[in-house]
Structure 1
């Protein structure tokens, strides 16, 4: 419970919530779970989740960690290691293994739904994966309650989980993919172990080593869930070295992560020729000028020089950008932002004081990592880790508000008077859900299963590519993760240069793997101005990117020339007056779709 100095005017003292409140909470939880999974569901929008899911499906088939997402960077790594094998033998060395392994039982249980249904734009397995993601979020709510209750009391814990439940940002992230909710779950579990260790140290009880080992094992799980969790691991190790006794127990936190990373690095060296795998591009991109997307699409095998000045400027720019939008990164939860003011309050309980500084250290480490890597997609970026700190940040913010309000002397003003400040902060924090959820529900009910993340994703249209492409053929595309997942075909990420494509095509042809064609989507044309594509990372493919729109306007820039894939099949677009601008198109060397239609 909170220290006596900070005991505030909470009606009912520190007793837990009534059964009526608990039943209402769970009723709202269940309702929101099914609303998010069915009414507002639009399919997966996370490339990392699609990538992990297609690898999980290959494992379920008995093919091991084979991947149908071919990154030119990974391909070149294997060639340098002397592994010139067919692409159907490409092994994934990019993704951490835990999200993939978690999805394997789902793939096996729903094997009958691998084929894409004709009556919906939503892939059934998308809903299965997001269902698991939301269940992890629900479990995280429970863990957060237990942890906050140990640090403060049931009252603060109750308001914390209410904030989590009504945080629109959590639900949006949860239904976009699996990895963020896995990381949230493991981080909350790690904090539960850390609080237990701190309590044992403060009270002089035995068992600190047991908590430290548990913390280390969970930290290893975080690292195997998301590579950015390496920064969390460093932060937790520093916190353990400061507050656990003996200090050598910090090794128990660090060692499991080191061992699993060493084992995974050895595995990557054996199958891909590099201990870091293709995720090495993320590290290189942090130290060099191009982003990791440019490097992953580069088949040249050359690395640009390290630019220290650029690294410093980029890191500082990313840091300023994150701090300027921190409220959004923290889910627009007002009490979470007040955590930094709570650092100034002298909590009497040792574990309460220590945990807040431990959180600050771990968050600071994560902030450094995110500043180096960058968050181009802002609060919905795959590398965004601010959201996992929201529950405990919010708990400290709520405790701080409670203390301030109590010191104003409203100790005999009834329940509403005693809790007015906290209630106001909660109401402000749930405004995003109050604004967006009704509109999303109405749109979802109106579309009846036809709601998708368009642009750039239309799963049913992407799945159509499967009909035109054989199992041994390749598709070159700007969205290989979606083709590998929805169309279940080998998809090669478009290389940086046309000359690289020609070399890659010749290499795969030598192994009997022909190129069936190319798929272009709005992913490569996401620019502020139409002309921006000519200076973007897809500038080498600008004529192909805009070919569909050009044909809609009566101009085909590829009707002549040496481009081998002149036949075009429109998959999606929009009418503009009497014209139809194609936004997603499959291009091939022959009219494969006519042969399919004749069957």
Structure 2
């Protein structure tokens, strides 16, 4: 919950579960659960309010990201976001976002979110009554969780969901995958027992064959050709670490992958501003001097027509094209030196030729 606020929406199915199945302890269960929930999250929310004035920080704005007002990562890169006009198109945008993302979740995510075919057995098991009331109650809780998490996931998806198609932090239905697999396996064994195979050797063979089939998606990943466990482009940890080493600990890097610079390079970084002019100098002159700009394929491989020419990256797109093709920097731009070793795949600008100093070391 404290690292993934969407997890807090499970409060709803848990509350309903206690109301339905609490029996004589219904009221006390609901009160204790609500009290524990509030006690656990309150200090963290108070801390967020003290730091930024918002209980959920920037995550509270996820619902309006990927709308007509704030497409892609525009909101995350704004220093002073303009929320005027948001209320006017709010409901229409939310309805469109919900519909589009629900379609993607139902057609792309749910069919393969467990990584194997046991999810199909779970779906079939929804119409089968279990003798054990506890097992039935837990299955109903899973259904309630799906009903809650799917629309929450649809409304809270941001540009992060487009960077990694299948596995990403916003794919919250993955939380239910382990228990869905358990219920799918349970139904499989129930059906297998109905066949009533007398020969134990044959029964073991059926189990082994079924296990191989269920695990086939995993097993195939171990077959050649082996994939390199590096997400290049744009991430190459040794290069990111090397670039971060060009700068002192208290110096600031502006980049389109600040999370990677912070993680692999262990260096402070900030996202690219909306443009290399006014908003850049607002950071450089007012907040903190920018000592380097590191632009990767996240920006440079963007769709040429819809992003680099007309979209969110049009200002940085022209900036990069002018530097690589013409060697031209905007007038008065403070970072005048480019590291040729990463060109033309990436672009590193600095206030002086720091890489030469690093080579001498």
Instruction: State whether TM-score is above 0.5.
Output: yes
Q: 1:477 touches 1:492 (CA, 8 Å); kept in 2?
A: yes
Q: What is the deviation of 1:363?
A: 1.8
Contact (CA 8 Å) 2:65, 2:75: kept in 1 or not?
yes
Aligned match of 1:310: 93
Cα distance in structure 2, aligned partners of 1:400 and 1:385: 24
Once residues 171 and 82 of structure 2 are traced to their aligned partners in structure 1, the CA distance between those partners, rounded to angstroms, is 29
Residue 489 of structure 1: CA displacement?
A: 2.7
Q: 1:425 to 1:284 in 2, by over 3 A?
A: same
Q: Which whole-Å CA distance do the structure 2 matches of 1:330 and 1:559 have between them?
A: 46
Shift of 1:530: 6.7
- 1:346 paired residue among 114, 117, 129: 129
Tell whether the 8 Å contact from 2:302 to 2:308 is kept in structure 1 after alignment. yes
Distance 1:443 1:372, change over 3 A: closer
- The 5-angstrom pairing of residues 530-541 of structure 1 reads 532-541=307-316
- For 2:297 and 2:123, locate their aligned partners in 1 and report how far apart those are by CA, in whole Å: 40
Report what 1:401 is aligned to.
Answer: 188
State the match for 2:10 in structure 1.
232
Shift in Å at residue 322 of structure 1?
0.9
Q: TM (normalized to structure 1)?
A: 0.54
SS, match of residue 265 in structure 1 = helix
Distance 2:101 2:93 in 1: 12
> Residues 425 and 324 of structure 1: is their aligned pair in 2 closer, same or farther, counting only changes over 3 Å?
farther
Q: Deviation digits for residues 227-269 of structure 1, max 9, x if unmatched?
A: 1212223222222222123222123223322223221121112
Q: CA deviation at 1:318?
A: 0.9
Counterpart of 2:152 in structure 1 is: 369
Structure 1 runs of 4+ aligned residues shifted over 6 Å read none
Residue 431 (structure 1) aligned with residue 201 (structure 2) = no
Q: 2:79 aligns with which of 289, 292, 299?
A: 299
Gaps of 5+ in 1: 1-222, 445-450, 573-580
CA distance in 2, matches of 1:358, 1:231: 13
Cα deviation for residue 299 of structure 1 reads 1.1
Deviations 1:8-41 (A, max 9, x none): xxxxxxxxxxxxxxxxxxxxxxxxxxxxxxxxxx
Pick aligned residue for 2:170 from 383, 389, 402:
383
Paired position in structure 2 for 1:507:
286
TM-score between both structures, scaled by the size of structure 2: 0.86
2:30 maps to: 250
Q: 1:596 aligns with which of 350, 358, 361?
A: 358
What is residue 565 of structure 1 aligned with on the other side? Answer: 335
Number of aligned residue pairs: give it. 351
Deviation at 1:317, TM superposition (A): 1.4
Are the aligned partners of 2:2 and 2:44 in contact in 1 as well (CA < 8 Å)?
no
Contact kept? 1:543, 1:558, Cα under 8 Å: no
Aligned 8 A contact 2:64 2:94 in 1: no
Aligned equivalent of 1:543: 318
Cα distance in 1, alignment partners of residues 318 and 72 from structure 2: 24
Deviation for aligned residue 1:463: 1.5
Contact 2:300 2:346 in 1 (8 A): no
Name the structure 2 match of 1:356: 139
Secondary structure, counterpart of 1:437 in structure 2: coil
CA distance in 1 between partners of 2:109 and 2:249 (Å): 46
Q: Which residue of 2 aligns with 1:410?
A: 196
Q: 8 Å contact 2:78–2:273 — kept in the other structure?
A: yes
**Distance in 2 (alpha carbons) for counterparts of 1:328 and 1:526:** 30
**Do the aligned partners of 2:319 and 2:329 also contact (CA within 8 Å) in 1?**
no
- The reply on whether 1:483 has 2:269 as its aligned counterpart is no
Q: Which shows bigger deviation, 223-232 or 309-318?
A: 223-232
Structure 2 CA distance, aligned partners of 1:251 and 1:597? Answer: 64
Find the partner of 1:269 among 12, 27, 49.
Answer: 49
Per-residue displacement from partner, 1:394-429 (whole Å, max 9, x unpaired)? 22222223333443x434243434773x65543232
Distance in 2 separating the partners of 1:225 and 1:250: 24
Considering only aligned residues, what root-mean-square deviation do their CA atoms show, in Å? 2.7
Contact 1:329–1:386 (8 Å) recurs in 2: no
The verdict on how the C-alpha distance between 1:426 and 1:437 changes in structure 2, with shifts beyond 3 A counting, is: same
Give 1:461 shift: 1.2
**Residues 339 and 394, structure 1, Cα contact 8 Å, conserved in 2:** yes
Instruction: Kindly state the Cα deviation for residue 544 of structure 1 after the two structures are TM-superposed.
Output: 3.5
Tell me the distance in 1 between the aligned counterparts of 2:340 and 2:4.
37
Deviation at 1:564, TM superposition (A): 3.3
Compute the displacement of 1:297 (Å).
0.7
Unaligned runs of at least 5 residues, structure 2 = none
- Structure 2 distance, partners of 1:365, 1:298, is 31
